[in-house]
Each structure stands twice: as C-alpha cells, then as structure tokens.
Structure 1
Amino acid sequence: MALNMEGGAMHFYDEIEPFCRWKRTEDIDILELHLPSGLKKEHLKIQINNNGMLTITGGCPVDQNKSIRFKKETKVAKNCRRNEIRAKFSKGVLYVTMPKTSSITASPLAALKGSTSHPKAGADMRNSPNCASEFNSKFGSLRQRLWRKTVVEGVAAMVVVTGAVVGVVKAYQYFLASPV
C-alpha cells in the first residue's frame, strides 16, 4: 500500500497484481487480463516500446481516500506484428490481441537460403524448411510425451522383472531350506 499526500489530504493506493492468462496459437497471441470491477476503459493505458516490451497500467478510485492501481509488463514475441496489436475491454477483462507473422508467408529466397537441392525441385521444395519447423512444433510435444511414456513403461518393466527375479530367488531359498 502506498501513501500520497495531495493538498493536505491522505490518499492510499493499493498495488494489485491482476490475474492474466495467455492463449497462444501459430497465428496469434492473446493476453487476457482480468481486472477489478469499477475499472473502466478510460482508466487503462497500453504502450509498447522499441524493445518490444508491452506495458499495461491502470487504476481507479475505490472511495475518497483510496485507489487501486496496477502495472503489467510483458515481452512481445519477436514475430509479432506490432502495428497490428489491438486491445478490447469487455466485462472486466482486457483482451490484448497480438498477430504474428506467418513462417509460411516468409520470402521464398529465405526458405531456400543454404539449400543444396536440385534446381527442378524449386517450387516443391521452397517451403520445406518451414514445413519441417511446423511439423516439429506441432509434434514435438507428442514426441516428448511418447518418450516419457516409453521411459515410464521401461521402468515399470524393470520393476516387474526385478520382482520376478527376487521371487524366484526366494522360492529357490525356500526349497533349499525346507526338509525333504
């Protein structure tokens, strides 16, 4: 809580941390900022600096002597189209929409840079680096989950085999120790 003396009157400020959630896709990032009731569009300020830092500030009075305020800073993705960032405030939630440049719309020369493919492949191979990166991003997490599953199953199999070996050893010891 901060204190400010304005014209002899004491004014208190509560600094709050609003709940925020990201929704990310290949084409767009959306930041949802859930703000306290009483906050209006006029109370908000959204800025982006040259380094790609998005700053959202705001505040509103609670009563005559008390106000709330907040500041949220986040780094914008490098492939974000900064001039197309939009914000919408609805029912206490601020939606900041940040469109991204698509890797598929990248220049064909950039996709072919460093390529040693056959000249006839030209048009067919132009987007292959992009397709590979899209494939890896979409299926990378699947590959990780399958790998984890394989590791877990392998560990489980080792536990079962170890249990079986211990069981066989114990049975052997039992039969050796029992009188015939």
Structure 2
Amino acid sequence: MAVVMEGPTQFYEEIEPFCRWRRTEDVDIVELHLPPGLKKEHLKIQINNNGILTITGCCPVDQTKSIKFRKETKVAKNCRRNEIRAKFSKGVLYVTMPKTSPLVVAPSVASKGNTSGTQDRKADNDTSNIAKCASEFHSKVGFLRQRLWRKTVVEGVAAVVVVAAAVVGTVKAYQYFMASPV
C-alpha cells in the first residue's frame, strides 16, 4: 500500500484488492473484492491484443485523497474474448471469461522407449493456469511477508528494549545490594 501525491493537493492510496479465481472447463471467473464506496463508474476493464486483461479503478475518499488500484492478468488462450462479461454487485466485481469447447485429443499409443512429440492442449492450459495462480500467490505472499516483516521488526525492537531495561534493572539492583553494608 503506497500513498502517491499527484498535483499540489491530491493524494492516491494504491491498494491491492483481494482477488479469487474460479476455473472450470467452460469458464474462468475472477472475483475482485473492492473497497466500500467504489462504484461501477469508477471501474475500467480492458483487454489488449496480447490477451492481458487489465482492471483499474479510482475512487475519491475525500477532497484530498483517493483510492486507486490496478490488476492485470493474462487470459486463457482458449478464452472467447468477445464474450467476456463483468458484473459489479455488493462490492465484488465478477469478470466472466467463457472458453471455447476443449478439444478432444485422441490418446497416442507410444511404443516402449518412444514418446510422442505431441502435447496435450489441456495440459498446456493447466500449466498456464498454474503459472497464473503461482504468480498471484507470490504477489500476495510478498505483500504479507512485507507486512509481517515490519511487524516483526517492531516487535523485535520492543523485545530488545524490554530485555535492555531488565538487564539495566538487574545491574542496578546488584550494585545497590553490593554497596549496602550488611
């Protein structure tokens, strides 16, 4: 989450909305959970010639601050791009991407020690879907790791301060008892 200043009095807070994928053989659905106050008019959805789906949004919070986000993902090769639909309901954006019918590939019979040079198209799609999921997972893990690291550093500094205070207190108590006549 970053705050960016644009212009003399306008600030943008960049957010990373929660995103969930649902995949079937017929359709891919992206659910983007957006912050309160964001309306349909604040959203923009585009797909380029390379198959990159871009979802952006910007919503004013007050007179000087706005929330901004950008989500990009590569759509499946067998996605029917002209039939992609989006629905915004109760703070969740649903982007539905229908797929063409999966091609049925006849299983190849390979002799012992001989492998077929053909690849299963479903395996290619599964691989690209796994790559997309892995990319999204690493993005979220990186964000969480960064937040956790900051929290860990603060807790670590606090622990060092407490231990230092305990050591100083123990040393002072030891000096007091050693200096007092018995």
1:20-42 residue CA offsets vs partner (Å, 9 max, x unmatched): 00000111000000000000000
- Aligned equivalent of 1:77: 76
SS in 1 for 2:41: helix
Equivalent residues of 2:25, 2:102 under 8 A apart: no
> How many Å apart are 1:71 and its aligned residue?
0.2
Quote the Cα distance in structure 1 between the aligned partners of 2:91 and 2:28.
19
- Aligned equivalent of 1:24: 23
1:94-144 residue CA offsets vs partner (Å, 9 max, x unmatched): 00000011125x7xxxx57x99xxxxxxxxxxxxxx9xx69xx8xxxxxxx
Within a 5 Å distance, the mapping from 1:82-121 to structure 2 comes to 82-104=81-103
RMSD: 2.4
**2:59 alignment partner AA:** C
Within a 5 Å distance, the mapping from 1:134-149 to structure 2 comes to none
1:6-51 residue CA offsets vs partner (Å, 9 max, x unmatched): xxx4111000000000000111000000000000000000000000
Quote the Cα distance in structure 1 between the aligned partners of 2:102 and 2:69.
35
- Aligned equivalent of 1:39: 38
**2:5 alignment partner AA:** L
| Equivalenced residues, count | 111
What TM-score results when the alignment is normalised by the length of structure 1? 0.57
**2:44 alignment partner AA:** K
* Runs (5+) with no aligned partner, structure 2: 110-119, 127-182
Quote the Cα distance in structure 1 between the aligned partners of 2:26 and 2:102.
9
SS in 2 for 1:77: coil
* Runs (5+) with no aligned partner, structure 1: 116-129, 138-180
Matched, 1:2 2:4: yes
> How many Å apart are 1:53 and its aligned residue?
0.1
SS in 1 for 2:9: strand
Quote the Cα distance in structure 2 between the aligned partners of 1:62 and 1:97.
29
**2:82 alignment partner AA:** N
- Aligned equivalent of 1:147: none
Quote the Cα distance in structure 1 between the aligned partners of 2:11 and 2:102.
49
The structure 1 segments of at least 4 consecutive aligned residues displaced by more than 6 Å after TM superposition are: none
**1:2 alignment partner AA:** V
- Aligned equivalent of 1:146: none
Quote the Cα distance in structure 2 between the aligned partners of 1:70 and 1:14.
8
> How many Å apart are 1:4 and its aligned residue?
1.3
Quote the Cα distance in structure 2 between the aligned partners of 1:23 and 1:81.
16
Identity of aligned residues (%): 74
Q: Which has the larger radius of gyration?
A: 1
What TM-score results when the alignment is normalised by the length of structure 2? 0.56
**1:95 alignment partner AA:** Y
Quote the Cα distance in structure 2 between the aligned partners of 1:12 and 1:42.
20
